[in-house]
Amino acid sequence: MNWIFYLFIVVSIITAAITGRLSDVVEALLSGAQLSVKIALSLIGIMAFWLGMMKIAQKSGLIELIAKFIKPITKRLFNEIPEDSPAIGDIAMNFTANAFGLTNAATPIGIRAMEELQEHNIDKTSASNAMCLFLAMNTAGFQLIPATVIGILAGVGYPNPTKIIAPVLMVTTLAFCFAIICAKILQRIWKPQTASNSESEGK
């Protein structure tokens, strides 16, 4: 990816030099650098406020309460995992934290959940259906309030940055549901490895 951006920059400079518009490129670089600093500063304030609110929600037990509420749905989605597995609770916590923008809290929970799913995985050399489903859910990136996008829009001077909440919620919900549906369909094509299959392969 770095090479792609480097190529874009070099080609734009060469093209500007050939066409005699090198001054426009320099002006765009300076204005872009100034705008990036402005966005970063405005993003710091919004993200600090939002993450602070989410941290209060986490400390007060609200995140855990929501995770317990969606735990029955998690059990149905990950029906290959035993109901008493700690992975079920961690998956629910990870989803809840991501939905509310607590990515710093969601990352270690997600890693722990993946490690617990690996313990239930029969074939240790490849990902299980549950692990693939969990990864697909995280990749879809369901969010109730996109604090980062709101901060960027506010930084560039957009008059009403909160207007993005409804479209983002709609898109991420569709992506989230589509990811689950695709994972469940592919699970029927590639059957999970069983203990008997593992033993026969070992022989």
Is pLDDT above 50 for 196?
Answer: no
- Give, in degrees to the nearest 5, the angle at Cα 124 between 193 and 126: 70
Mean pLDDT within 115-136: 88
pTM of the model: 0.62
Mean pLDDT rounded to a whole number for the chain: 79
Q: What confidence score (pLDDT) does residue 177 get?
A: 92
pLDDT tier for residue 38 given thresholds of 50, 70 and 90: confident
pLDDT above 60 for 192: no
| Residue in 144, 137, 128, 143 with CA at minimum distance from that of residue 180 | 137
Closest CA to 99 of 68, 127, 66: 66
Closest among 168, 132, 127 to 147, alpha carbons compared: 168
Does the pLDDT of residue 174 top 90, yes or no? Answer: yes
Task: Give tens-digit pLDDT for 62-77.
Answer: 767 777 787 788 888 8
Report the pLDDT value the prediction gives residue 41, as an integer from 0 to 100.
75
Is residue 179 within 8 A of residue 140, CB to CB? The reply is: yes
Question: In a 10 Å sphere around its CB, with 0-12 CB exposed, 13-18 middle and 19+ buried, how is residue 126 labelled?
Answer: exposed
pLDDT digits (tens, 9 = 90+) for 13-36: 888 888 888 888 888 888 888 877
Tokens of 198: 């593992």
- Quickly state the pLDDT bin for 104 (edges 50, 70, 90): low
Which residues lie below 8 Å from residue 141, measured CB to CB, with a gap of 6+? 98, 172, 175, 176
In the chain, where are the structural domains located? 25-196
The pair of three-digit structure tokens given for residue 142, joined into one six-digit string: 């369901």
Whole-number pLDDT of residue 181: 92
Assign 178 a pLDDT band (cuts: 50, 70, 90): very high
pLDDT, position 33: 81
Query: pLDDT by residue (tens digit) across 129-158?
Result: 889 999 998 888 788 877 667 777 776 777
